Amino acid sequence: MAACSCRGDIRPVDVQARAHSSQGFACYQRGDFDGAIAEFTAVLRLMPGSAETYFARGVAYADRGDLERAIADFGESIRLDPGQTAAHQNRASAYMTRKEYGRAIDDYSALLRRTGEPDLYYRRGVARSLNGQYAPAAEDYAAAVKLDPKSLYACNALAWLRATCPDAGLRDGGRALVHAKEACALTEWKNPYCLGTLAAACAEAGDFKRAVEWQKKALEFGSAYGPEESVRGRERLRLYESGRPYREAPARP
């Protein structure tokens, strides 16, 4: 019986595209982003409608630090495949790095129309807070916590906003304390950032003695607190020692 030939099932262009794609991922894995970009570009010359390849090249551009091209590739990936969740997420992250918070909010909102993941509410809340939209940010953090009571970042962010928000109408020492304590409990009272938030909440509630104690406790973590945060933490400590709460500076969208 004659052997069956299946060579006609795979076009030469497909073989070439797969080879370039494999080389692109290999380059990316070893940190050769320029090489990865070149290989993915070769794929797109052969298969210009590949949403996956635009996404892959966008990731390589982003890791190389070329956010403008990364955003363009993520956008093309989304245009070709509107259901590209990863492309939306990565483009939103790129927008956040570029401080284009309004555009990041749009991407997170698009994702939330498809899924109600708590982390997306948290991320949109961060973007909204940095964009000066404090009330919507508080709503997003609260939604994240409601969906996932163990959402550490959302708990801490909500407590921080309630304690330090430039908008006096949103500050609430009592509510800040509730969420700050929840965040500290989730980290077994060992996370300096959460302890710093608890200190800010105590100060907003008027308990400056406890604010000083918790801020000192946070500073005891030293390098785990980070050098820049340690400087800011000492500045807040001096405020609490003088009987003054800490206030975030108004955002500049």
HEC string of the chain equals CCCCCCHHHCCHHHHHHHHHHHHHHHHHHCCCHHHHHHHHHHHHHHCCCCHHHHHHHHHHHHHHCCHHHHHHHHHHHHHHCCCCHHHHHHHHHHHHHCCCHHHHHHHHHHHHCCCCCHHHHHHHHHHHHHCCCHHHHHHHHHHHHHHCCCCHHHHHHHHHHHHHCCCHHHCCHHHHHHHHHHHHHHCCCCCHHHHHHHHHHHHHCCCHHHHHHHHHHHHCCHHHHCHHHHHHHHHHHHHHHCCCCCCCCCCCC
**230-242 average pLDDT score:** 95
Q: Does domain 141-253 have CATH number 2.50.20?
A: no
**145-167 average pLDDT score:** 97
How would residue 253 be classed by pLDDT, with cut points 50, 70 and 90? low
- Cα separation, 46 vs 150, in Å, equals 47
Q: Which residue has the higher pLDDT, 3 or 114?
A: 114
Residue written as token pair 């989304």: 78
The structure's pTM equals: 0.89
Q: Check whether 3 has a pLDDT greater than 50.
A: no
Condensed to tens digits (0 to 9), the pLDDT of residues 8-57 reads 455 667 899 999 999 999 999 999 999 999 999 999 999 999 999 999 99
